Amino acid sequence: MITDACVFANQDQAATVRRLLLTGKSCGLSRMVICGTAPDIPDSYAGVEVLRGRVVGKQNGKTFLDTMKKIPKGVVVMVYVGENSFNRTAITTKGVHLLTGIADLPKGGFDHIVAKMAADHTTGVVIDLSRIIDAKGRRTALLRYAEILLLHRKFRFPLVIASGADTIFGIRNVEETLALCSLFGMTRAETYAALNGLDAVLSPPRPVRIVEDA
Amino acid sequence: MRPLPPTLRENRRYILVKIAGEFTAPLTQKEIYFTISEAVTSLFGDVGSAAVHVAVVWSEDEHAIVRCSRGSEQKVIASLGVITKILGAPAVFHSVAVSGTIHGVKKHLHPTTWDDEVIAGYRCSGKKVDSLTGSNTHRYLTRDDIIKE
């Protein structure tokens, strides 16, 4: 399922949620994660499935855990990365699905140990296209994403692609996503895997259990 | 310089682009070219943009055909992806199709997309629709939103 892992929809913005979903449909998406305070979010529209998302900002340990407890089930939780120790806490916390804000990562914020932990806990890392589209932080973003890609190839933690759009002009179609991801060395196959990567995060593979003896 | 014989000419690719945005007047070919050229240069530099050899060969309403050298289609599509403004107004350039001929790319002009069901929020069936915010800014709605309101 081709997914946009983060679209912001707020109450006072120009486009309604349905309009964002319709644009997503025209861009070839089949699922979108909607974050924000917009009222009346449908479960699906124009054939695009909707998942609710929540971005948790940088916080200290106790506040972060309290915030996590308040989040209802069925919500895709994205945690804004910070220092190395916070990232480790975030990965090991139950209910955290994705790490976002990789482009703003402090030096040494995401090393090989955190990468291995992310792979073990099936925590995904978000590639935010809005940081590549924005000319201001493009160089840093491309560098960071290239580093993440190296770690992903070694440790195989899930990668997920998000547009980070808050208007209809921020959503990109699949072909553009492929081209933008090729800027930091992502292959076509890797990009498709990342576009479909949310499934692996939400329902990670588990060992086979015997539920009933024959 | 004399034109090269056909066997020595570089191979080209044509990309159909659909432009959406908040611009009021129709865009000229020159404006589209400058926007795309600027995006290619900002992303790949002067040397890269010279190799891409980008040009706008046709434009009509919200569509344009961009020409580039063969093998650099992905660079052009990436450059189209980073365009956020044209003439200071928010805009987006969606690549629709790539072909080796203008005729081939024009075949993709007519299929309707889901976006065609969308109407600008301030006008629906010739009538003005008040936006929820009450301001005169653009609002992007669907028919379902208008019926609901």
Residue with tokens 């309009």: A19
Tens of pLDDT, residues B6-16 = 899 999 999 99
Q: Which residues contact A24 (CB under 8 A, 6 or more apart)?
A: A4, A7, A32, A48, A171
Question: Is residue A171 a contact partner of residue A23, using CB atoms and an 8 Å limit?
Answer: yes
Report yes or no: B149 at the A interface, CB cutoff 8 Å. no
Range ranked top by mean pLDDT from A79-93, A95-109, B15-29, B42-56: B42-56
Average pLDDT over residues A132-144: 93
pLDDT at B127: 52
Chain B segment 47-66 residues within 8 A of A by beta carbon are none
In chain A, the percentage of residues whose pLDDT exceeds 90 is 72
Going by pLDDT thresholds of 50, 70 and 90, the confidence category of residue A154 is very high
The model carries a pTM of 0.91
In the prediction, which pLDDT does B135 show?
58
pLDDT tens per residue across span B94-103: 999 999 999 9
Question: What local confidence, expressed as pLDDT, does residue A39 receive?
Answer: 83
Residue B1: pLDDT band by 50, 70, 90 thresholds? confident
The pLDDT score that the predictor gives to residue B122 is 47
Higher per-residue confidence, A116 vs A106: A116
Least confident of A92-101, A117-126, B34-43, B132-141: B132-141
Residues written for chain A: 214
B2 DSSP 8-state letter: P
Q: According to the model, what pLDDT value does residue B143 have?
A: 74
Q: How far apart are CA A121 and CA A92, in angstroms?
A: 7
Read off the DSSP letter of residue B27.
P
Residues A80, A100: contact at Cβ < 8 Å?
A: yes
| CB proximity list for B112: less than 8 A, separation 6 or greater | none
pLDDT, greater one: A106 or A19: A19
In the prediction, which pLDDT does B114 show? 47
Tell me if A26 sits within 8 A of B114, measured CB to CB: yes
Tens digits of residue pLDDT in B107-147: 988 654 545 555 555 445 455 555 555 555 677 777 777 77
- Predicted confidence at residue B128, as pLDDT, reads 52
Write the DSSP string, A54-68.
EEE----HHHHHHHH
B74 vs A: CB within 8 A: yes
Which of A14, A133, A175 is closest, CB to CB, to B77? Answer: A175
How many CB pairs (< 8 A) connect A and B?
85
Residues 6+ apart with CB under 8 A from A10: A36, A37, A38, A166
- Whether the pLDDT of residue B87 is over 80: the answer is yes
Which amino acid belongs to residue A86?
A: F
Q: Residue B91: its chain A contacts at CB < 8 A?
A: 169
Q: Which residue matches tokens 């949310």?
A: A198
- For residue B14 the two structure tokens come to 């044509």
Range of lowest pLDDT (A58-67, A152-161, A205-214, B126-135): B126-135
pLDDT of residue B58: 96
- Is B41's pLDDT higher than 50? yes
Confidence of residue B24 (pLDDT cuts 50, 70, 90): confident
pLDDT (0 to 100) of residue A208: 86
Using the beta-carbon criterion (under 8 Å), do B114 and A25 form an inter-chain contact? yes
Distance CA B130, CA A73 (A): 37
**Mean per-residue pLDDT, B84-101:** 93
